[in-house]
Amino acid sequence: MAFQPQRGSHAQESRQQAELLAIQALAFLAADRGRLDRFLTASGIAPEQLRAAAAQPEFLAGILDHLGAEEALLLAFAAHAGIDPADVARARHALTGASWSDSRP
């Protein structure tokens, strides 16, 4: 299921959309052992901690930061999710409470 941001929505709706995108990104990372291992190493989190961590906005932001740090990974995720790669940066910004429409990377 592709993520479709609702531009011009309120900050709470934007944050929920951003959280959904981050969860989708985590699933994308988890689908490939190499991607997941690189993420776990970079984040310092243990695999058994993922479920609890995914409930934390800061962790979700870290997932999006991880994608944004590597262009090839970002582009692969964007293609997989059917989104504009810039949507990842907008979602990251929305996790801080800003409206999606206010998030122009």
- pLDDT tens digits for range 25-74: 999 999 999 999 999 999 999 999 999 999 999 999 999 999 999 999 99
* Cα distance between residue 75 and residue 55, in whole Å: 25
How do the domains of the chain map onto residue ranges? 11-100
- Residue 101 above 60 pLDDT? no
Return the closest-CA partner of residue 74 out of 25, 30, 38. 25
* Cα distance between residue 20 and residue 72, in whole Å: 21
